Amino acid sequence: MKMNVKMMAAAMAVLGAVSCSKSDMYDPVQVEENKKVQEEAKIEQAKSDYEANFVEKYGEVDPNQSWDFSTGTPTISLPSSSAKAGTRAGGYERKNSDEVYSDDKDVYYEFPAATINKMKEVFVEGRDNRNLGTAFAMHAPANAIYIMPMYMGQSAGNFELWMHVEGIAEDIKVWSKWQDLEVKPKADSDWKNVKDHNSGSNCVGVAAIRSKYYKFSGLPENAVMHFYLKITETASGYNEKNQILTSISGYMRDFKFGNDGFPTGLKGIDENITKPEAMIIGVEDATTSKSDHDYNDVVFMIYGEPYVPQTFKVEEFETTYSKRYMIEDLGSTDDFDFNDIVVDVQETFTQKKTTDEQGLETWSDPVLKGQKAILRHRGGILPFELTIGNTKLEKMDGVLSDDPNTEFNNVTGWNRNSNNISIKVYQSADSQTANQVNFPQTGAIPMIIATDTNVAWSAERVAFNWKEFMPTPAE
């Protein structure tokens, strides 16, 4: 084990104290100074041991290795006041996502020609269709709903369709691009997945379209809900990876069928219902000035017996960016569980509806509503002080495994790009000597790691598997 300079100084301080004669006077200042030197040397040795153990376990760190594994994907939501105002009378029971999804309709439904023609009449390819409606959210009906992809126009990149329902613990992934959507290029052609149809992998000019439909039952009645498109692979110049395009921020338009073009031949949960409802939602996947705003990059249909979700207008929405910081405190130098302190930090921006010079709907620039931190977990016994941005939180005791979920709403100055978070860890409750831990630079050995807030921390003394976030090497 190597002996560094501070360790040698601590040893010399101890020898000096022992060699004093009995006639020497007790010097409390010198005793405290000796104690401080020893504690600093202990910290330095612990850091050295930690780094050596880390390299022994994982190998040398790549100079380009970043320790921020978060995706930057925001959460788009209604302000709490708007959500409450939009909800009809009546509460709802909180459920898990697996309690509401049932894919028991593992059959294809061929859309009638009249339904496809009506959709094309509404969402004309290449036309600016923004004036068809406005940003919207919905209320969940008591009955089951059936969702099916119906059409794909000119689009690039890759995306997924998700559904958010208040009262459901997690958002629900409904569909991935091209999934279960088939076309016939000509009337006498065989069915093929739309991805294999043409160079654009779209439904433009096809003779027939069919898709599977997905059943969602047991949605919390009256709950506020919305759909969003998650960009998983960028279309260069049109959008960015991990962008969230929602109905409440204006990237979707809805149309409810009357008799004209109403889809026939669907069988649902109740054969006795004679007046079901159906609606289509068109989605725009481009977020830049290159967008044609035709809202038919993907169109999906919702069918309900007797009701589909009922829409209401949105005047304001919030965007929240969050990160989870998992921290080692040097209480141990070889477990790398990164659960000694786990804290989530988030910031929320608001945008309000406005109109441009052409009278079209647009949104104000984002305004910071606030930042806050949530202490999720403590897995170490050493006292600590967290500094997040410009805010130093009060000194807290270490606890060997608890989940306090304590909120600190007075955080300011946090920068999610630079990760300006640090922690001081004290050797004991009465110690004035602290180990200062900052977010690691690229290529350094980490004592703090950043992830998305849905990433679970490790159990005690179980090494956190940070390598699962590494990109898969190209073959």
- 55 assigned to some structural domain: no
Q: What is the dihedral of CA 335, 337, 341, 342, to 10 degrees?
A: 170
Question: Given this model, what pLDDT does residue 183 score?
Answer: 97
Strand partners, 246: 228
Structure tokens at 262: 């109403």
Instruction: State the pTM of this model.
Output: 0.86
| Any domain includes 452 | yes
Given 292, 313, 334, which residue is the final one in a domain?
Answer: 313
Is 50 within the bounds of a domain?
no
Which residue is listed with tokens 């960015």?
Answer: 240
Helices (H), 288-420: none
Task: Specify if 454 maps to a domain.
Answer: yes
Rg (Cα) of the chain, in Å, rounded? 29
Please indicate, yes or no, whether residues 258 and 116 belong to a single structural domain of this protein. Answer: yes
152 and 202 Cβ atoms separated by less than 8 Å: yes
Q: CA 398, 402, 404 angle in degrees (round to 5)?
A: 95
Residues 205 and 253 in one domain: yes
Q: How far, in whole angstroms, is CA 111 from its chain's centroid? A: 34
CA-based max dimension of the chain: 110
Contact 277, 304 (CB under 8 A): yes
Length, in residues, of the chain: 475
Both tokens assigned to 434 = 């602290």
Cβ-count burial 321-340 (b if 16+ within 10 Å, e if not) = bbbbbbbbbbbbbebbbbbb
Give, for 319, the enclosing helix (H) or strand (E).
strand 316-327
Whether 364 and 438 map to the same domain: the answer is yes
Q: Do 50 and 445 meet the contact criterion of CB atoms below 8 Å apart?
A: yes
pLDDT for 357 equals 82
- Contact at 8 Å (CB) between 414 and 347? yes
Which contiguous run of DSSP H or E holds residue 94? Answer: none
φ/ψ of 396, rounded to 5, equals -125, 150
Give how far Cα 250 sits from Cα of 136, 294, 314, Å.
Answer: 7, 12, 9
| 120 and 141 co-located in one domain | yes
253 lies in the same domain as 345: no
Taking a C-beta distance cutoff of 8 angstroms, is the pair 119, 256 a contact? no
Can you tell me the distance from the alpha carbon of 23 to that of 25, in angstroms, rounded to the nearest whole number? 6
Report the alpha-carbon distance of residue 23 to residue 422 in Å, rounded. 46
The number of distinct structural domains making up the chain is 2
* Residue at a domain's end among 313, 334, 362: 313
Q: Is residue 110 one of the residues assigned to a domain?
A: yes
Pair type for strands 224-233 and 136-139:
antiparallel
Judgement on whether residues 202 and 245 belong to the same structural domain of the protein: yes
Contact (Cβ atoms closer than 8 angstroms) between residue 349 and residue 77 = no
180, 262: one domain: yes
Q: pLDDT (tens digit, 0 to 9) for every residue of the chain, 475 residues total? A: 444 544 454 444 444 544 444 445 778 887 778 878 888 888 899 899 999 999 999 999 999 999 999 999 999 999 975 544 444 334 555 667 677 766 655 789 999 999 999 999 999 989 999 999 999 999 999 999 999 999 999 888 899 999 999 999 889 999 999 999 999 999 999 999 999 998 888 999 999 999 998 989 889 999 999 999 999 999 888 999 999 999 999 999 999 999 899 998 876 655 666 789 999 999 999 999 889 999 999 999 999 989 999 999 999 999 999 999 999 998 788 899 999 999 999 999 999 999 888 888 899 999 999 999 999 999 999 999 999 999 999 999 999 899 999 999 999 999 999 999 999 999 887 887 889 999 999 999 999 999 999 999 999 999 999 988 876 554 4
User: 313, 346, 379: which is the final residue of a domain?
Assistant: 313
Going 218 to 224 to 118 to 277, the CA torsion angle's sign is: positive
Range of the domain at 423: 60-71+318-469
Identify whether the C-beta of residue 315 lies closer than 8 Å to the C-beta of residue 352: yes
Query: Do 217 and 120 lie in a common domain?
Result: yes
Whether residues 289 and 401 fall in one domain? no
4 lies in some domain: no
Cβ 118 vs Cβ 260: under 8 Å: yes
Note the pLDDT of residue 82.
Answer: 53
Domain shared by 147 and 195, yes or no = yes
State residue 92's pLDDT score: 52
Contacts of 324 (CB under 8 A, 6+ apart): 70, 342, 343, 344, 376, 450, 451, 452, 453, 455, 457
> How far are the Cα atoms of 110, 384, 469 from residue 299, in angstroms, in the given order?
15, 52, 33
Question: How big is the CA angle at 417 (ends 411 and 419), to the nearest 5 degrees?
Answer: 55
Q: In this structure, what DSSP letter does residue 87 have? A: S
- Could you give the count of Cα atoms lying within 13 Å of 403 in the half-sphere of its Cβ? 5
3-state secondary structure of 17: helix
Cα angle 384, 385, 390; round to 5:
160
Interatomic CA distance for residues 184 and 21, integer angstroms: 100
> Is the bond into 79 cis (omega within 30 degrees of 0)?
no
* Whether the Cβ atoms of residue 366 and residue 319 lie closer than 8 Å to each other: yes
Same domain, 334 and 202: no
In a domain, 38, yes or no: no
Cα–Cα dist 284/115, whole Å: 20
- Domain co-membership, 375 together with 464: yes
| Residue 12: inside a domain | no
Alpha helices (runs of H) in 323-412, residue ranges in sequence order: none
3-state class (DSSP) for residue 275: coil
Q: Are 366 and 352 in contact (CB under 8 A)?
A: no
Query: What tokens were used for 86?
Result: 């939009």
